[in-house]
Structures are given as structure tokens and as C-alpha cells.
Structure 1
Amino acid sequence: MLFAVRFTDKPEQTTLRLALMDAHLQWLRCHQGKVLAAGSLRPQPEADAIGGLWIVEAADKAEVEALLQSDPFWSGGLREGVEILSWHRAFPEPVMI
């Protein structure tokens, strides 16, 4: 199953985000088989990130929850909240991002 995972960061935590970034990116590389797409969310292109969005392949929501808890952004205290939704493609072929 595919899931869309939307994260919100704690406000005013750009310094913490930068401190955890290398570990977070390494974690994402190690989990590319599950986290199919990932990136930050920003109110404007030049603004600081306020959260993130992933597309995750997992058996169920519990697997997604367990996965995200091992992410350094989560365990390091950057994240304020998360929304996990079942995602269903409109087009059968993968979209190249």
C-alpha cells in the first residue's frame, strides 16, 4: 500500500533542522525501498522549511508509524506532528519527479 505522510515541524527550529540534516538524509538513503519520495514543505520557495512530505510503501499504517519514529528528524525532536493518509494514484504509471 502507498501512504502520503505530511509532517509539520516545531516553529522556529531551522537551527535544529540543519543540525539533524546529514543524519536525516543518510537515514532516507537507507530507507529508499520504503520512502519512495521525500522533501521539505515551504510556504514560499525561498522560505525556511516548515515540514515535509513522503510517499511511503508499507503494509499498513502501523508500519509507517514505526518507520518514521526511527528518522532523526523525529527522534531528534524537530517534528511537531504527522498526518498519515492512504494514497491512491490517479495514473497507473509512476510519475517521474
Structure 2
Amino acid sequence: MKFIILFEDTPDADPDIRKTHMAKHLDFLEHNADKIEVAGPLSDAEGQGRDGLWIVEADSEDDVEQLVHEDPFWPTGLRSSYSIIKWKQVYADGARLIHPS
């Protein structure tokens, strides 16, 4: 089952947190590539990176929560919250993934 994870960054977090922990965060994403399909920061109107988004393949919401809490960014204070949203992909790579009756 697919999930979208939307992260909200702490507005007053130290701006160097992301830089300081990025290598460990990327190692974590690569180590979990079988579950975390895509990941990246979102941008504000001025193009500054903020918040984040993952698309995850997992058996349950509990599995997704475990991933979130294992991410090296989580204990740093960079993230203030996250939302886990179940997602059904119906279109990819120019093709329908479902066929309505």
C-alpha cells in the first residue's frame, strides 16, 4: 500500500540542521529504498527549501511511523510534525493503473 508523508519543519529551527544531518538522512533513504520510493524538500514562494514529502510503499501506517522516527532528521528538531495519508496510485508513466468498468 502506498502512503504520502508530508513533513512540516519547525519554523524557528536552526537553519544548519538540514546541512549538518543531510548525509545521514540520505544514507537512511538509500538504506530504505525498498520502502521509500521518493523523498525531497518542498519550497516556499521564494524558492527556499522547507518541509518535506515522501512516497512510501509499506504494509501499514505503523510501518510508516517507524520509518519516520528512524530518520536521522526526526530527533534533531527540524521536523515539527508529519501527516501520513494513504494513497492509491491510478496513473504512472503515461499509463492507467486501473481500468474502470
Q: Tell me, yes or no, whether TM beats 0.5.
A: yes
Identify unmatched segments of 5+ residues in structure 2: 95-101
- What is the percentage of aligned positions where both structures have the same residue? 35
Identify unmatched segments of 5+ residues in structure 1: none
Name 1:58's counterpart in structure 2: 58
Name 1:39's counterpart in structure 2: 40
3-state SS of 1:20 partner: helix
Following superposition, which runs of at least 4 residues in structure 1 exceed 3 angstroms of deviation?
A: none
Whichever structure has more strand as a proportion of its residues is 2
Give the alignment's TM-score, normalised by structure 1. Answer: 0.87
User: Counterparts of 1:82 and 1:24 in 2: how far apart (Å)?
Assistant: 16
User: Counterparts of 1:7 and 1:74 in 2: how far apart (Å)?
Assistant: 10
Would you say how many aligned residue pairs link Structure 1 and Structure 2? 93
Q: Mapping of 1:48-87 within 5 angstroms?
A: 49-87=49-87
Name 1:18's counterpart in structure 2: 19
User: Counterparts of 2:42 and 2:73 in 1: how far apart (Å)?
Assistant: 14
Please say which structure displays the higher CA radius of gyration. Answer: 2
Q: How far 1:52 moved relative to its partner?
A: 0.4
